[in-house]
Amino acid sequence: MPDPESTDGSPPPEPPAANARSELLTLLVLLLASAMLLALCFGGAAIWLYN
């Protein structure tokens, strides 16, 4: 079964390199945000436990 997106012949809106860079940047931002939330949770738990 062929890919339905490849049948129209139009190029993708972004070049593949820019698209990959955008995806990588998005993943990096999500990773940093989740690491900050995890550190905040563990910091709050440590303060709550040792107070």
Domain coordinates in residue numbering, the chain: 27-51
User: Going by C-beta distance under 8 Å and a sequence separation of 6 or more, which residues neighbour residue 19?
Assistant: 12
Mean pLDDT of 16-33: 92
Rounded to two decimals, the pTM is 0.58
DSSP category for residue 14: S
Residue 36's pLDDT band (cuts 50, 70, 90): very high
Q: Are 24 and 16 in contact (CB under 8 A)?
A: no
Q: Are 22 and 14 in contact (CB under 8 A)?
A: yes
Nearest CA to 37 out of 29, 25, 48 is that of 29
